[in-house]
A and B are shown apart, each in its own frame.
Chain A
């Protein structure tokens, strides 16, 4: 593992502060998922949407001969950048400043929100237009602005749907993926000022209505807030990729532009950017190239915003960087490919994860940003995966999410041990199992004990439904338990197979079957 200079030897960097922003829900994943799984409309909307986007991605990725080399390049660039993140960030600051921008450093969500609110007040902004931004969803900026009496208007179509309905995003790229067009029509009709009275659920009709509404916002706004997909350190250039053109409007029309960006978004050079601009659109929207790629560098008199501020957000990222087995989560370029291929996400949707970062990447990123303490809501996230591995295969920068999930489960177990005197029932049974499994005599004795289950089976090959305690009742709610066989494999081997060795035909047999392929100790009695 390469060394990473954190600039603060011996001290554990702080995690994101609790109670602010969108990194943590109210309930753990299993309970929240249970609610989502019962929502038939959500299941239908998500099933359709993820299947469509998965197929699109697979098609455009298959077109690229050197896709695997691009993934390797993306991974290598991210790893090298993270290994010297401080240097690249300072270079970025120098270049942005030299070109007329102002750089602010925000330790956490509270500081970032305060910086933006202060800038908006100073600019005399009565309203803020926003380009879709995960960083400000993470910090809960809209709430902070609202508290200061400054409403923020989301201009990305899906974010607008979410905002108008008082909802929260459920997907990184398609925040309203859990809504279908009939629901969107109802939201617009009820909540969008000036929505046409004859609004239908025709996608074009819906888009035109939103467009008319947003156009008024763009023309009136003097203050814009954006996120950034990338920042090129060598020239101080910020980048936003998008599909709708709303971003271009926000980035060019208002007098003041503030960009809030996680510190991990910096790339050293334009050559590095070239790799990610190939990886991102194909992975996220399943397009060869996204319709709008906006890049801006500092300020230019008479052209675009007169004032540009860049807020560099830590909010727990340095803590993630401090863990050699978890830091690759910072390589994420927010494409959402892992969400779209995840069998868990596909069925539960994003809200079950509680964080603005849902799905597999959220399950490794959110708990690291908020910290794992043994009892936290986000401690349930690393378990929200069957470890099927589809996320790694889809990830354009090869983040080994399954391995990281397993690592974070270990972090959770050990944090719980530290914070509780009495081991959990699970910990006690795991310790007992480990003791049994470290010795073949104990293991064989446990196997014999499991055969008591045969008494319950009364000759059937499945056990009857037993009133098992949680969590085992979760299995028996939908699945049968097989009856333990009369003989374990090792008993068969020690008895009949060893005894039959040296005979011309090997393997278990009896008179009832012709030789060669009988199976099962049970038939040997």
Chain B
């Protein structure tokens, strides 16, 4: 299948390993990945902070770029993020409709129909749960709010993780509670957000996991930013990176896009 990658502005800029892992994984499964070079951002930050007029241009650009990719032979769009997939599926057409642009709303709805979060694409579209990954680490999984309650991915990410060889998967207490990120919520209501983060970190640490994983780089940036501040040594690794991993040699050092204590952070020049 030819799959267009929506990398998300955050992963593109700060966590490129999420993208390379998604490419590695899908190519290993025999699929062709294309990267529409015109893409920038889905506009979720604008929508969720109340800037709907500003969002309109960003949404239009996204729909233009991915509409063209789908016209050009891509059969699906994959997003390694629950909240960006959620924005495409649940907000884009609304933003267009509100602005009175019915044609854009229709095109946005068509793009949304072909857009899938990574675990949805793997389990629902490609029909795999065992992706052939090896990851010999103690891991706990945080289900992000938008993947859980906007997209309803359910236990798909966990089914994928359970099939990973060598993994020691630990259940996260109060898993479905928000980590406190919430986009601009984390700066507008930083104190409340921090109180939520503190409880999330407490639960992550109680599992004894060395790695906290999730399907959203944004929530991981939040949790990881708190964990490294505490110097606790538990790091955050995106779900795509674990699923892309095929051996211990890479396993120890791969998931460091967010991580603190990795021996070989990908973000640092050798």
| A residues with CB within 8 A of B | 29-30, 33-34, 37, 343-344, 347-348, 382-390, 392-393, 403, 406, 409-414, 426-427, 430-431, 433-440, 443, 447, 450, 459-462, 471-475, 477-490, 492-494, 497, 506-508, 513-514, 516-523, 525
Contact = CB atoms under 8 A, between A and B. Distances in A.
B16 A489 contact: yes
Interface string B82-120: 000000001100000000000000000000000000000
B60 to A, nearest CB: 8
Interface in B179-212: 180-197
A462 B50 CA distance: 30
Contacts of A513: 249-250
Interface string B26-66: 01100000010111110101111111111101101100000
Contacts of B180: 343, 386
Contacts of A488: 12-13, 16
Nearest to B62: A437
B17 A520 contact: yes
B261 to A, nearest CB: 9
B230 to A, nearest CB: 9
Contacts of A519: 17, 20-21, 24, 241, 244, 250, 254-255, 257, 266
Interface of B: 7, 9, 11-21, 23-24, 27-28, 35, 37-41, 43, 45-55, 57-58, 60-61, 90-91, 145-146, 148-150, 176-178, 180-197, 221-222, 224-226, 228-229, 241, 244-247, 249-250, 254-260, 262, 264-270
Nearest to A416: B50
Contacts of B149: 388-390, 392-393
A380 B214 CA distance: 30
Contacts of A435: 57
Contact of B247 (A412, A427, A434, A517): A517
A383 B187 contact: no
A459 B20 contact: no
Contact of A439 (B18, B40, B229): B40
B66 to A, nearest CB: 13
A484 B197 CA distance: 23
Given A413-B51, A492-B20, A479 B245 contact: no
B181 A386 contact: yes
B28 A385 contact: no
Given A406-B47, A479-B186, A507-B23, 19 more contacts: A348-B192, A384-B192, A388-B145, A389-B149, A410-B51, A414-B53, A434-B54, A438-B60, A440-B38, A443-B9, A461-B256, A490-B12, A513-B249, A517-B250, A519-B250, A519-B254, A519-B266, A520-B16, A521-B16
A492 B195 CA distance: 37
Contacts of A431: 51, 54
Nearest to A382: B50
A460 B192 CA distance: 29
Contacts of A385: 182, 185
A258 to B, nearest CB: 39
A337 to B, nearest CB: 15
B27 A475 contact: no
Contacts of B185: 383, 385-387
Contacts of B150: 389
Contacts of B222: 479
A383 B267 contact: no
A438 B55 contact: no
Contact of A440 (B20, B37, B259): B37
B269 A462 contact: no
A94 to B, nearest CB: 39
Contacts of A461: 256, 259-260, 262, 265, 267-268
Contact of B145 (A387, A473, A514): A387
Contacts of B11: 489
Nearest to B65: A440
A413 B89 CA distance: 24
Residue from A434, A450, A471, A477 whose CB has the most chain B CB atoms within 10 Å: A434
Contacts of B15: 482, 485
The 3 closest A-B pairs by CB, nearest first: A474-B190, A386-B182, A520-B266
Nearest to B192: A33
Contact of A522 (B12, B196, B255, B269): B269
Contact of A485 (B39, B176, B186, B267): B267
B46 A430 contact: yes
22 contacts: A387-B185, A409-B48, A410-B50, A413-B49, A430-B49, A431-B51, A434-B46, A434-B57, A440-B38, A474-B191, A475-B187, A478-B197, A482-B258, A485-B15, A486-B267, A487-B16, A490-B7, A507-B20, A517-B244, A520-B257, A523-B270, A525-B270
Contacts of B52: 410, 413
A319 to B, nearest CB: 19
B19 A347 contact: no
Contacts of B16: 485, 487-489, 492, 520-521
Contacts of B189: 29-30, 33, 344, 383-384
A514 B267 contact: no
A439 B15 CA distance: 21
Given A438-B58, A519-B241, A478 B178 contact: no
**A433, A493, A519 — most chain B CB neighbours (10 Å):** A519
Q: Among the interface residues A343, A347, A513, which one has the most CB atoms of the partner chain B within 10 A?
A: A343
A438 B35 contact: no
B265 A522 contact: yes
B178 A427 contact: no
A482 B11 CA distance: 12
Given A390-B149, A479-B229, A514-B247, A489 B47 contact: no
